Structures are given as C-alpha cells and as structure tokens.
Amino acid sequence: MTYDGFPPFISAQLHYLINHFAHPVRVEQAWSGSKYSNTLDRFTLLIPYCLDTIKWDVIYNAEFPHAPPDIIFGPEDEDFHPFYNESGGEGDSRSIKNSLATWNNKDPTRLLALIWELRDQYMSYQRKRVGEVDDDRLKFEICTMLSREGIEMHMSSGVEKPEEVKFAVPLMDMNINKMVVGCPWRHPQKISLQVIYPVNRKYVSAPSAPHLKLMSTPALKSLFSVDDVKLPPWLDGMCMAEYLPHLEETLERQHFFIL
C-alpha cells in the first residue's frame, strides 16, 4: 500500500505499524474526515485475531495533529471498554498509564504500541466473555486447554446466528521460520487448530464433536497444504486436551516439518 494522501506523521506511524506488527495487519480503506480537504486521516485496519480478522476504524484528526486517534471497535464489541479506570469509569485517559497517555505524534512507533495494547486487552476481554458462558462443557474445555501457550478465543453472538465460541489453538511448539533455508517471511509462520463449539445453555449428556479445521498462515500454504492433512477422529467423550496430542502425532507422522 502507498501512503500518499496521509499527513506525514500519520503516514510514518501507519508505515511503521504495517512493517513491524507481530501479525500481518492490512488497511481495508482510507478516507478524509474533512468536508474541505482530501487529506486522508482515518482508515480501517484488518487485524488478525483467533484465525480470523477484526476490523477497527482508526480516526485521526489532521487539523489537530497532536491529538491521539480514536479507535472504533466492531458492532459486536460495544461492551469492550479497554481504558476504564480502576474506579469503574472511563475518566481522563491521561491519568491512566496506557498508550494514549504517552501519545506523541512525532514518534512513528506510537500507533503500533496503541494497537498492540488494544489487541492484548481485547484478548483478555474475549477470554472473560467466554469464561462467563453458562455451558458446563465449555468451562471444562477451557480449564483443560489453558496450560497451552498462545490460545485465543472469541465469543460470537447475534440475532440471526447461534451463539458459538471459537478457539485458535497453536500446534507444534517449533519455529518454522528457522527451519526453512533462506526464509523469506517477515512474520512467524504457524499451524493452528480452529475449534468451534456451539453454546449449550443446559447440560448435554452426550455433546457432539466440535467443528475442527486445521489452518496455517497464508504464506506457509505455498510449501504445505494443511487441507491435505486428515484429522484424527473425535471419539465419544473426548476432550480437547486428549485430542490435541493425537493431532500433533498425526502431523509428525506426515512429516509436516520436513520442509
């Protein structure tokens, strides 16, 4: 993406974010907030999360360059208030130690710090939402999986779709990038299992198997197609903590990491 049309300070911050964020962030669209100028000062970011993307609008004001941007979250996340103070109110963000309180429009790293902090808080927010679901099976699965590093989870609900909880479970604790000679990738390449559970508001004696899908980062697909991996069967009464070792053994037998 070119950064023509943005003021220099926004362009510098956006360029740094795109090139240094730990996940491949993309700009979906950009526009101007002024009726009298074509200067771009707001845009939509697509941020990888839980093997999907979340969309956040970043709203600068080119007429007030020293002010930090506002971040508009998605319609399902109206209860996400990351900078509430300890007394329970939003208050003045300058009194709270966060990326807005230390904002400096001349520092090209500040947008990255802000988005990273918000994504980290969003992960905690979603974990709290999932933990509050009144579903015995989900509560058990969460307890058995939390020992794994890097698990992300997302609670999805809406008027026209059933409630479900999605997990992104990283597999095989190995650095794939280091295993590829002349690795061309800037971002870490990973293999994960997407696990989707429908929310059951009452106890089910024989719950059905979750929806399982093996997924990889897009760049890795050029070397190995996870779609060709046959997932091991989900046995009656099995939980995710029992299933994951079988899956990882399957990947090892198929010599996945001999690239």
Residue pair 95/101 in contact (Cβ under 8 Å)? The answer is: yes
Residue 45 tokens read as 């970011």
- Looking at CATH, the fold of the domain delimited by 8-125 is given as Ubiquitin Conjugating Enzyme (3.10.110)
Domain boundaries, the chain: 8-125, 134-253
Ordered alpha helix ranges (H), 151-216 = 176-179
pLDDT of residue 203: 55
pLDDT of residue 87: 38
The residue ranges of the chain whose pLDDT is under 70 are 1-3, 84-97, 158-161, 173-187, 201-207, 254-259
Sorted by sequence, the CB contacts under 8 Å of residue 222 that are 6+ apart come out as none
Residue 166: closest CA among 192, 193, 145, 194? 194
The region that residue 155 occupies, defined by phi over 0 for left and psi between -120 and 50 for alpha, beta otherwise, is beta
pLDDT of residue 110: 96
Ordered alpha helix ranges (H), the chain = 8-20, 110-131, 136-145, 176-179, 240-253
pLDDT of residue 175: 66
